[in-house]
Structure 1
Amino acid sequence: MGLMKRFEGKVAIVTASTQGIGFGIAERLGQEGASVVISSRKQKNVDEAVENLRGKGIEVFGVVCHVSNAQQRKNLIDKTIEKYGRIDVIVSNAAANPSVESILDTKESVLDKLWEINVKASILLLKDASPHLQKGSSVVFISSIAAYQPQGGMAMYGVTKTALLGLTKALATEMGPNTRVNTVAPGFVPTHFADYITKDASVRKAIEEKTLLNRLGTTEDMGAATAFLASDDAAYITGETLVVGGGMPSRL
């Protein structure tokens, strides 16, 4: 498919982008002409993803970044500016779900980790990046359909994703008119991250049946939605959350 080139001459940072949804987003932005800066915690994963994207003709730069490490976050921004001189798009995709406990049974250290990685690190990354964001720039958070109905083994994770919906509204106010801030809330996408949910065939079928399109999402679906919100096609959209969940119920 011949894609539009909405990101020609633009620089996009995508966190947690060496596999899964993050990789799908990086690939889509790169196919549309962006210089993409990808990152994750392990050098080996970064190197493999860079090679993979380069093989597809994408201009890509990889940096190791554990988002809860202040020095590594700053380094991600500094290295991007050093190499490309600008930042136009930031996609904040890093997340953890270290626990499947009910909320009231979750250890305090785990509550801290969930907040730290899923919410606070996104704020601190933008704090480092904001002086470098071009006029007309765009931030996209990756939340989850679980933001609307946090339940089961994803309850506290879901609540941190609910927080991102509020953060989107608050930062759209704070960062406008220079920068637009929006969120994509994916439905269920069978990635390594979601293995524990989607690897069981009966669970998978139950999820498919909850959608109106009778299928799970793909990383391409998420890449396309994110690229739209990040692009000038969404120039008059800010503070919004786009649910990409095959019609699963989502109300807050």
Structure 2
Amino acid sequence: MELDGRVVLVTGGTRGVGAGIARAFLRAGARVAVCARRPPDAPVEAAGRTADFHRLDLRETGAVREFFTALAERYGRLDALVNNAGGTPYRLLGEGEVERHARVVELNLTVPLAVSLTARPMLHAARGAVVMIGSVSGTRPSPGTAAYGAAKAGLEQLARSMAVEWAPEVRVNTLVLGMVRTELSHLHYGDEAGVAAVGGTVPLGRLATPDEVGEAAVFLASERAAYVSGASLLVHGGGERPAFLDASTANKEESHGTV
């Protein structure tokens, strides 16, 4: 198997996108550790193998240092780090205190930086890889999740700089995700009809699955991407159809204008 014998850590890897990423690495033969503040409802499993769960609040720097010391003792190596932990509630900028928005930035930007710095010695020794989980929210306006979008934009820039500073021993790349269907999709898009309607706005006609995101993460961490570093891989089903195309009343057969 392509990652047989390798050790991979997926932060926030107990549900949703993180669990899909962990399953993909399990299928690829890696030994997978996942960490989160709360244990999963069920073990993260794939291909007859199970990810090792570690309880950890990534915002506590002392706990993170202790965790990586224990990780080195238990596994002896770390070949890939996937910085997946993150997220945000819907909150307009004017409806939340500064501290609330700052916590969103901390979780989605400062935490991946701190975890990567702590993991660096092990990754350096293994000539390993870091995969940041970014978002299209960092590439376009993100009303209602502005702090999250700003953090994800910063995360992508951080990855590019990190890729230069840590080369050639450690490769660093970003997966820029669009909408993904998870067990919590109904909280964002409503019932099945709502999920289908939202999926219909994507050129490929549906939302991504967590396992599809996982396969992209495996690619970036594998030898197949040995010369890929400082890159951003778009996993968004073709993006978003420009609104003006539907809003325009011009006769498309006769119009020759461009925007």
Report which stretch shifted further, 212-221 or 131-140. 131-140
1:126-165 equivalences in 2 (<5 Å): 126-133=116-123, 134-165=125-156
- Paired position in structure 2 for 1:87: 78
Residue matched to 1:207:
198
Q: How far has the Cα of 1:56 moved from its partner?
A: 4.1
Correspondences of 1:151-190 after superposition (within 5 Å): 151-190=142-181
Q: 1:207-246 deviations in whole A, cap 9, x for unaligned?
A: 3232111011101110011110111100000111111010
Tell me if the contact between 2:203 and 2:240 (Cα under 8 Å) persists in the aligned partners: no
CA distance in 2, matches of 1:76, 1:194: 31
The match for 2:113 among 123, 129, 137 is: 123
In proportion to residue count, which structure has more helix? Answer: 1
The alpha-carbon deviation at position 128 of structure 1 amounts to: 1.1
Shift of 1:153: 2.1
Identity %: 30
Q: Which 5+ residue runs of structure 1 have no aligned equivalent?
A: none
Q: Show CA shifts across 1:91-137 (max 9, x none).
A: 00010303x22224431111221111101011111111111113431
| 2:96 match | 106
Q: Residues 206 and 155 of structure 1: is their aligned pair in 2 closer, same or farther, counting only changes over 3 Å?
A: farther
Q: Does 1:28 align with 2:24?
A: yes
Distance 1:191 1:59, change over 3 A: closer
Task: Report what 1:45 is aligned to.
Answer: 40
Q: How many positions carry a matched residue from both structures?
A: 240
Residue range with higher mean Cα deviation, 113-122 or 144-153: 144-153
Distance 1:149 1:245 in 2: 13
State the one-letter code of the partner of 2:28.
E
- CA–CA distance in structure 2, aligned partners of residues 9 and 129 of structure 1: 18
Q: Counterpart in 1 of 2:5?
A: 9
Partner deviation per Cα, 1:135-164 (whole Å, 9 max, x = no partner): 431000101121111323222211211111
Aligned 8 A contact 1:37 1:80 in 2? no
TM-score, normalised via structure 1 length: 0.88
CA contact (8 A) 2:186 2:195 kept: no
| Larger Cα-atom Rg | 2
Q: Report if the CA contact (8 A) 2:102-2:147 is conserved.
A: no
Per the TM alignment, residue 199 of structure 1 is displaced from its structure 2 partner at its CA by 2.6
